Structure 1
Amino acid sequence: MTYLAKVIAGGKVVIPAGWRRELGIKDGDSVIFDRDDAGAILVKTHEQVVREVQALFRPFGDPASSIVDELIKERREEQRREGAAAGDRLAS
């Protein structure tokens, strides 16, 4: 659906109430303004931008795996190997 709105003092434009309800935009929320390649103005919610960024990074890693968890696992394995090597030296 297309809406017509006027720009009032200070560059303010009212987002139609139906769209605000549909998008979950409430008083005090922040919205992000962007432009597409054709120069059209896009208004996005914070949640929309977060989803877009997550989609951009999705190919670079499995969200179920944690780099921190992998690092902790590697460090524990190193400690186990170091402990075993120290025990071997003490037994000699």
Structure 2
Amino acid sequence: MSMQVNITPNGRMSLPAGIRKRLGLEAGGAVLIEETADGVILRTVSQAVARAQAIAKKYSDHPDASVDAFIASRRTEGGE
């Protein structure tokens, strides 16, 4: 669904009430803005967390995906 939202001269914009309600933002809240080559994407914090978890899950079975493996590889690359 696409809809037009106007931006005021000071940079403010309002999300339509129906969208805020569907996203659980009726009482206000935070959204994250991602700039892409195709435009701008707005996500709620919970949507962004879920997306990050889905990306991380792709790498969870990889033995070099742990924090310890990352630190070890950085130390090796840095000559420590």
Question: Which residue matches 1:78?
Answer: none
Matched, 1:45 2:31: no
More helix per residue: 1
1:7-86 map, 5 Å: 7-38=7-38, 40-61=39-60
Unaligned runs of 5+ in 1: 68-92
Aligned 8 A contact 2:35 2:41 in 1: yes
Aligned 8 A contact 2:32 2:42 in 1: yes
Alignment: residue pair count = 62
Q: Following TM superposition, by how much is the alpha carbon of 1:36 offset from its aligned partner in structure 2, in angstroms?
A: 2.0
Unaligned runs of 5+ in 2: 67-80
CA distance in 2, matches of 1:45, 1:51: 10
Q: What is the TM-score when the length of structure 2 is the normalising length?
A: 0.65
Aligned 8 A contact 2:31 2:45 in 1: yes
More strand per residue: 2
Q: Following TM superposition, by how much is the alpha carbon of 1:7 offset from its aligned partner in structure 2, in angstroms?
A: 1.0
Q: Choose 1 or 2 for highest CA Rg.
A: 1
CA distance in 2, matches of 1:21, 1:10: 25
| CA RMSD, 1 decimal | 2.0
